[in-house]
């Protein structure tokens, strides 16, 4: 694979008219191969002068007539990076979504991806729960099906996870997770309930039984979104493909 190229990962997951839909793609970030799949959150910068924001990859497809490789993502900004700015109603872990999803060519999305997020200090840092024993009695497979049904519309990502593993990535390489406000409140409540519990019982099953969210990535950043805004200049970005 050429360093500046992008390519699909896995087989197509759907067809509609001239469109072929996919679950993941591979590109190079800072000289290293990286795979992004549907539902992943990752840092992007839409223009060199723009602030870093978070993109949630929601759709991947190829237009068979023009052979264009395309993506649709939802963007999230810190309150202080929106036209209204941050106010006293905004939470410390809150982000605000752009009201319209953005469609860009896959090669442009790869250029937007950002790896230097040292200045991004927001987000609740949470310790991952134990999952070493999940291989017993099919529990790991059951948990994977749960995550696929809640985060990825029931699509089977086993082939994508294998490709990520072959690249040396974790099952969930992204350390970002944006929740709805009710999910975030339940998550904070769950953390309070298990605060003094022994680590031996803090397994995925226990967390899920309390209504929490099992996260297995290292030192994840948990944020939430409850509002949207109209981005004033995103429509002027030459990478945005409104025609698709």
Q: pLDDT tens track of the chain, all 244 residues?
A: 565 689 999 999 999 999 999 999 999 988 889 999 998 999 999 998 999 999 999 999 999 888 999 999 999 999 999 999 999 999 999 999 999 999 999 999 999 998 766 667 788 876 554 444 444 444 445 445 544 554 555 678 888 888 888 887 654 445 788 999 998 888 888 777 777 766 655 555 666 666 556 555 556 788 999 999 999 888 888 888 877 6
pLDDT of residue 84: 93
DSSP character at residue 148: H
CB under 8 Å, gap of 24 or more: what pairs does 151-154 form? 151/39, 152/23, 152/37, 152/38, 152/39, 153/38
CATH for 1-244 is 2.30.30.490
């Amino acid at each position: 694979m050429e360093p500046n190229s992008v390519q699909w990962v896995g087989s197509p997951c759907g067809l509609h008219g001239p469109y072929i839909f996919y679950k993941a793609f591979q590109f190079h970030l800072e000289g290293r191969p990286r795979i992004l799949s549907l539902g992943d959150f990752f840092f992007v910068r839409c223009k060199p002068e723009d602030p870093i924001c978070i993109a949630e990859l929601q759709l991947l497809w190829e237009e068979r007539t023009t052979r264009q490789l395309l993506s649709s993502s939802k963007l999230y900004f810190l309150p202080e990076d929106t036209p209204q700015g941050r106010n006293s109603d905004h939470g410390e872990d809150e982000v605000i979504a752009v009201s319209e999803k953005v469609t860009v060519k896959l090669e442009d999305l790869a250029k937007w991806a950002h790896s230097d997020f040292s200045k991004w200090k927001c987000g609740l840092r949470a310790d991952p729960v134990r999952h070493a024993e999940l291989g017993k009695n099919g529990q790991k497979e059951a948990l994977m099906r749960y995550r696929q049904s809640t985060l990825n519309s029931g699509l089977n990502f086993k082939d994508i996870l294998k490709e990520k593993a072959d690249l040396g990535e974790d099952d969930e390489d992204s350390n970002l997770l944006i929740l709805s406000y009710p999910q975030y409140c339940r998550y904070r409540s769950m953390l309070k309930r298990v605060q003094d519990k022994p680590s031996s019982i803090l397994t995925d099953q226990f967390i899920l039984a309390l209504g929490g969210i099992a996260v297995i990535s290292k030192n994840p950043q948990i944020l939430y979104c409850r509002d949207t805004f109209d981005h004033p200049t995103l429509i002027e970005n030459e990478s945005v493909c409104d025609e698709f």
